[in-house]
Structure 1
């Protein structure tokens, strides 16, 4: 297998604003390079008090580390606690319990055994209140509490350890006046000295940052702050699109508008069920969120962006989607523009649902020099990605890696002395999606190959953006064909994946058409070769939101030419399709003249704990079926068949539950001997259901250990299986187009010979 060598492309500082190129990624090389790899994923519901249900909602939002780098501390606003994790062994984190607070924690920092927490006690947006409060890390006992007179959002400790700064946001009510500011009371910045290692509340004073910004100068909303070695504090006023630098006395050293990002070409700016990186974003306000000092003169911002009004030619919506390096005098040293978002789309993590809003939504930036290299880590909240840059040249950072994170990465901390970084991921869907809790993830700098991504492409203006890989089939010569599903309702495609490289390359996609135009809603879930250069695909036939119902788009089979034209739609007889529930055909295989379709879950005519494998003879046009019995351990987890493929006289099926992480009990491959499949014909009688013969299956492989090979938790949707002629098998996971309930990760794994 060829190791893919990709060199990062150079660019002038501001020329990229009009550029249509995509950053290549330098870190995907051979093992002689250093790469960050995820070594653990810790579910926050593993750190709950005794007696608290594991389905309790959690949210790991901000995170910090002790000086020795062996303990992580995170805030959980949902539970109103600060959590502690022991990472003495970063690959085996252990929950060390929680410190219960009086209200909602918003930020946390640690110094010499004390933690300092910003706590929000606000009764309403118009009556904000809060404190900066210290606790003993070991005992959890409250030490000091200083009233800051408003809603704190961010806390930072000066490198000297002499004082703490607190951003008092007094955030807006997004439901009032469409979220437009000013909305009083105004925010400010609090400074409090540390005396004897603890808060000296009597020393507290406030810096007035009103009257500085062009946007709502009377209502500054400090979002995030950080302090350099000179004791200077830089503050982002996100909603005001402004940046302020303060000295130790709280005096303004400099302040300036965060300005606009202009002429970003090759962007996807519309939620339309397709990835089309052809548009431009013009004059979008940066509206910086997280920020970090690089040295005493330079800092970086993550520009989340959130636009409400159309004014002076500025975009009404869109999000700036970029990150920027600044000199503290207000001059731009580097503007990333569209590069990060396009690079994220190259590895399948772009979310179409956010295309018309804030895109990948850069949320945080963290700087650290680790083992001699100055790194910038940029968290993209809506992509589940941590971008790693070498910033040796501040005017020309080099994108090294894109690391997979959990859902909605919010906070990051670097531990340089141990070569570690950690992310906190705030979203939790554990009640509705069992096991899908918020997580803290740890990454280690290693002299090794980058474990992730598993699939990418070469880039360029017309690169193939992809996601939602469902069914797969081996195409020979190292190529695998895969289909996307209903996430791409306006862009049905067959992807061509070249496994001769590592990571695999997805540079080609076959657009599916009907009479030369984009095919209507299909929801493809399975694919097989027709033996003549074309394909047969199976469809699930149901879309929960915004698409047709079963009556308009039932499960079906389509014959597709090599260039993507639909040659024939094969409808399932009404006597069978009348029993369809929302789950249709999830996999398809062709053996001789017969097509075999796996019905994902039971239909209304199926006996308990069974589903069907439906057959169709291409020569005599006859339909038949057998029943398939599910494993008992999968019954409580929405068990179903998610793939079907043929190899050497057997049909191989992926059988799985709908659970994540430790709650995932069934992610396995079974096989059925083709010669043992003796289907009963499907009758034209619509009055009574038919009981079909049961088919025997044989266990082949449990996939759960494979699904944790990237240091993450077990993902729900392992949906693709392709087997090469020599028996080597590949599996893939469906990332749901990086929807709000997805990490965005696509695992594409060679699991060896079956």
Structure 2
């Protein structure tokens, strides 16, 4: 157990620094394009049909990709000659479910599951020509295939025949027959019809249930030795492909984790104060680093999942383990999936390796954090974290193309209803600074400050480089984030807890017991934040529910909070009862303070009104006036709605309004800033507005998908304009936060 303790402490030491002796500090990856898999069905992705890229592979030229699309039972071909403008070439329907793909010469080898059920398993290796797209041969595998790999010399293919377990049978417990095995394909012939098969039994090896090996993933080194993960058995086998013999097999071992979040107790809060003991690694993806070392992504599928990755030697010894490092990095970058805390955390799914210049780099796909963690492994006993790359939701397959300085990653999740589209992300390695993350947190007491779901943005009245943001109701114990934008990426340097120390919120809403916790922290829905000239902070909290809606009745009202610098509530301001009686669940969003008045934007119209309100509360008179803001009509091909997200004062009664639709990716159409003049207004009138900026080009520069919720807008004291999006707490969201300086006034 000594090596585990050493590995855990080492991971903490290395996760946040990159010593120059181990890493190239001038060359990094940046995303150059995102290919929409749905564009193979409709060029504008105007389709609700689920389609997904799961596993992908590039040909020798590095210019053609082939990916598996399990939901649509097809494989897709993509031309990446131009890494900035990938083009769909074709999709080919498959008789069965494609599970994996690899390429030898001009042939795509596709593992296809044709099983009727978990007991009557069957599958094929279907071989397609890359130029004609035609099926040229099909080999009976005798079972359900998972991973397919090609040896570096092209002499062999190896296929993990998993014959996966039924998770609903006996709670998924092993054993479940039939047993899986490794199928070797001798691919020396130029004609796939002449290829032959050899079966290697994997029963009786290391594992929890040796009679049911459950092979998952396979990788082949230059000596034609295959490393095969037996995931549910928490074991690994090494097979000599030329001889068809098992060379070694061993347990993947267990990990003791500390300073992680293993709770989803509501109200949600990321807290790195839990521990898990003796967690089986249960590796999924595996890749060779050289002929003596390989790395595993320890996803877990049954009883385990160690939330990290490990490096083994061929004797089965763990020479390095990431411990809690990936969990901490996900927290640092705002990508931690809090709703997966009781499961497998960030959930490392797959892993790839490539040599770029003088760097040996390992790429770990985190399925739930939607990140690729990049590590320098020039010294496999002491990996160094290099950078993190944003992906689509649920990255699965990764493939390196060193000769083109490229990495490609397939993200499989696809749900138009949830604003998620499956993508293939392309990254280029050049002499450049990384452009992601745009925001990260510093450490507090040795741990990264946890953050996410940013909703609202405000600038400090004195310090030009200080911004404030808030977390919305996805999390409880609500906090304000203090952001320093002097550096790139910007840094969350401090948090301020909102506290009802004087009991003002409790007294205002005595029936709402869940609003205030025992420690006087609050559980509200902060959507807007503002600063005033006295150094106070103002929060707009959105109400929940709609009057008269039986499915979503009103549970909380909208209100404003005035806070001091310590986050203590000094004042609670509510709406008039006549307005509350019209409440719709799209309530308070942006807030601003100017000339002893508080301005608050409603997201959408209430009741029978045609336009959303903008409320003006006079702090001296202590009364409300309202005007109406005219929204743009819906322009998205997918319909939806348009609403207000934030309000930013520009001085002399001029305000900028952040307006957006509720659509993302190819369906996004409206992300705009408009100007309104409130220096003089007639109560209950409809305002006029003029366009300041269309944000779609700004958002497109990240070369990802356009995010749905652009929620924050502010202008600093020196005239810099920033926007930020809400990543929904990484729930049905890829977790990407784009804090962007879009212009200077």
Fold shared, TM-score > 0.5 on shorter chain: yes
388-397 vs 535-544, which deviates more? 535-544
Of the three residues 685, 703, 706, the one matched with 1:714 is 706
Unmatched tracts of structure 2, length 5 or more: 502-517
Deviation at 1:597?
A: 0.9
Of the three residues 372, 378, 395, the one matched with 2:381 is 395
**Residues in 1 aligned to 2:60 and 2:19: alpha-carbon distance in whole angstroms:** 28
Structure 1 residues 226, 618: closer, same or farther in 2, change over 3 A? same
Deviations for 1:659-716, whole angstroms, at most 9, x for unmatched residues? 112321110001111214332xxxxxxxxxxxx3101111100001111222112111
Structure 1 residues 21, 587: closer, same or farther in 2, change over 3 A? farther
Q: Say which SS state the counterpart of residue 396 (structure 1) adopts.
A: coil
Residues 82 and 98 in structure 1, CA contact (< 8 A), matched pair in contact too: yes
Aligned residue in 1 for 2:727: 735
**Residues in 2 aligned to 1:26 and 1:72: alpha-carbon distance in whole angstroms:** 32
Residues 545 and 554 in structure 2, CA contact (< 8 A), matched pair in contact too: no
Aligned residue in 2 for 1:281: 276
What's the RMSD between the two structures over aligned residues? 2.3
Q: Say which SS state the counterpart of residue 487 (structure 1) adopts.
A: coil
Residues 477 and 523 in structure 2, CA contact (< 8 A), matched pair in contact too: no
**Residues in 1 aligned to 2:448 and 2:65: alpha-carbon distance in whole angstroms:** 39
Structure 1 residues 12, 472: closer, same or farther in 2, change over 3 A? farther
Deviation at 1:654?
A: 0.7
Q: Say which SS state the counterpart of residue 579 (structure 1) adopts.
A: coil
Q: Say which SS state the counterpart of residue 229 (structure 1) adopts.
A: coil
Q: Does 1:457 align with 2:452?
A: no
Q: Say which SS state the counterpart of residue 713 (structure 2) adopts.
A: strand
Residues 31 and 449 in structure 1, CA contact (< 8 A), matched pair in contact too: no
**Residues in 2 aligned to 1:136 and 1:188: alpha-carbon distance in whole angstroms:** 27
Superposition pairs for residues 357-396 of structure 1, below 5 Å? 357-396=343-382
Aligned residue in 2 for 1:443: 427
Residues 27 and 450 in structure 1, CA contact (< 8 A), matched pair in contact too: no
Of the three residues 112, 118, 123, the one matched with 1:125 is 118
Aligned residue in 1 for 2:403: 417
Residues 240 and 247 in structure 2, CA contact (< 8 A), matched pair in contact too: yes
Of the three residues 686, 690, 694, the one matched with 1:698 is 690
Deviation at 1:195?
A: 4.1
Structure 1 residues 550, 482: closer, same or farther in 2, change over 3 A? farther
Q: Does 1:474 align with 2:452?
A: no
Aligned residue in 2 for 1:615: 616
Structure 1 residues 53, 103: closer, same or farther in 2, change over 3 A? farther
271-280 vs 412-421, which deviates more? 271-280
**Residues in 1 aligned to 2:218 and 2:396: alpha-carbon distance in whole angstroms:** 15
Residues 25 and 401 in structure 1, CA contact (< 8 A), matched pair in contact too: no
Superposition pairs for residues 564-575 of structure 1, below 5 Å? 564-575=567-578
Deviation at 1:651?
A: 1.3
Superposition pairs for residues 487-636 of structure 1, below 5 Å? 487-488=474-475, 490-515=476-501, 517-542=519-544, 551-607=554-610, 610-634=611-635, 636=639
Deviation at 1:634?
A: 4.1
**Residues in 2 aligned to 1:625 and 1:51: alpha-carbon distance in whole angstroms:** 40
**Residues in 1 aligned to 2:19 and 2:130: alpha-carbon distance in whole angstroms:** 37
Residues 634 and 641 in structure 2, CA contact (< 8 A), matched pair in contact too: no
Superposition pairs for residues 122-201 of structure 1, below 5 Å? 122-199=115-192
Residues 125 and 170 in structure 1, CA contact (< 8 A), matched pair in contact too: yes
The TM-score, its normalising length taken from structure 2, stands at 0.92
Deviation at 1:180?
A: 1.6
Deviation at 1:620?
A: 1.5
Deviation at 1:32?
A: 7.0
The TM-score, its normalising length taken from structure 1, stands at 0.91
Aligned residue in 2 for 1:48: 41
Of the three residues 322, 325, 330, the one matched with 2:311 is 325
Count residues in correspondence.
Answer: 713
Unmatched tracts of structure 1, length 5 or more: 1-10, 309-316, 680-691
Aligned residue in 1 for 2:290: 295
Structure 1 residues 49, 601: closer, same or farther in 2, change over 3 A? closer
**Residues in 1 aligned to 2:736 and 2:656: alpha-carbon distance in whole angstroms:** 24
**Residues in 2 aligned to 1:484 and 1:21: alpha-carbon distance in whole angstroms:** 29
Q: Say which SS state the counterpart of residue 288 (structure 1) adopts.
A: coil
Structure 1 residues 671, 51: closer, same or farther in 2, change over 3 A? closer
Q: Say which SS state the counterpart of residue 61 (structure 1) adopts.
A: coil
Structure 1 residues 257, 200: closer, same or farther in 2, change over 3 A? farther
Residues 192 and 201 in structure 1, CA contact (< 8 A), matched pair in contact too: no
Residues 288 and 303 in structure 1, CA contact (< 8 A), matched pair in contact too: yes
